[in-house]
Amino acid sequence: MSKPPRRPATPQRPAQDTPPGDRIAKVLARAGVASRREAERMIEQGRVAVNGEVITRAALNVTSRDRVTVDGKPLEAPQAPRLWLYHKPPGLVTTTKDEQGRPTIYDELPEELPRVMSVGRLDLNSEGLLLLTNDGGIKRKLELPATGWLRKYRVRVKGRPDDATLEPLRTGLVIDGQRFQPMQVALDRQQGANAWLTVGLREGKNREVRRAMADIGLSVNRLIRTSYGPFQLGQLKPGEVEEVRGRVLRDQLGLEGAKTDRPTPARRRKPPRRNRSG
């Protein structure tokens, strides 16, 4: 019995062309409105309109011909990407608003700074280097695990740790089912009942250093971030902000549109609040 003739293969439909432009959340992030994730939340809340129509889904591409508004205000043209080093003091939260009414870094930043976003966070009691940027693309790139930049901390712990105590940090931990990658840990000196450590890690899990130290029986009573990749805290004083030169941004991040250099990056600290009593 002869086999029936094969049917000719159905030609596949050509893939639809990608709509022109960029995703709306990316455009908002590049304009410094918010991070991409925060921009998506703003869209879901109905705060963004394109060509007069409110949108609630981020699956939309826009071009320079589209009119985008946020909370009824026209979206400004993207600024040149910029990056600042900020010495965060303890006692400030790294959010724009705090439900508990605690002071935030944005309450203390110099007023002449444009709208900025933090690259990652430092918790309330942590201090040291925090990167700030006006560009959501930079924020996203520096926070991605694939970037893999080493972050260094000076950590003061209560106790008298030795190499055997610290070894689990160097081999990696699992805490509450969450795996912590190996850390670089060195014992700097013993100071009375406390010890100073230098810790390096390439991840950014929530309260990672504090949780890891607690797991090996050490309590952190001071934590200072001293570097984030090639960027160093250096001699910045608490509360000071220093802009990174455009040339450094181009070299380290490959940003061709980075702001041109100024003769000397300015260090700014918000003036102390005046006593309004009386």
Domains of the chain: 22-74 (3.10.290.10), 83-146+234-269 (3.30.70.580), 150-228 (3.30.70.1560)
What is the percent of the chain with per-residue pLDDT over 70, rounded to a whole number? 85
Residues with Cβ within 8 Å of residue 128, at least 6 apart in sequence: 87, 88, 122, 153, 154, 223, 224, 225, 226, 233
Residue 81: CB atoms within 10 A of its CB come to 22
Average pLDDT on 46-75 reads: 91
Confidence of residue 15 (pLDDT cuts 50, 70, 90): very low
Q: Is the dihedral of CA 128, 134, 135, 136 positive or negative?
A: positive
Sheet holding 53-55, edge to edge: 53-55, 48-50, 68-70, 73-74
pLDDT digits (tens, 9 = 90+) for 232-274: 999 999 999 999 988 888 888 766 545 544 444 556 777 655 5
CA–CA distances in Å: residue 235 to residues 201, 223, 238: 22, 17, 10
Residue 83 CA to residue 275 CA, distance in Å, equals 32
pLDDT at 263: 44
Confidence of residue 5 (pLDDT cuts 50, 70, 90): low
The pTM of the full predicted model, rounded to 2 decimals, is 0.74
Q: Which of 66, 98, 123, 215 is catalytic?
A: 123
**pLDDT greater at residue 26 or residue 152:** 152
- 66 in catalytic set: no
Residue 232 CA to residue 223 CA, distance in Å, equals 15
Confidence of residue 29 (pLDDT cuts 50, 70, 90): confident
48 DSSP β-pair partners = 55, 70
Length of the chain as a residue count: 278
Residues with Cβ within 8 Å of residue 127, at least 6 apart in sequence: 87, 88, 89, 90, 222, 223, 224, 225, 238
Flag the least confident range among 118-127, 139-148, 151-160, 218-227.
139-148
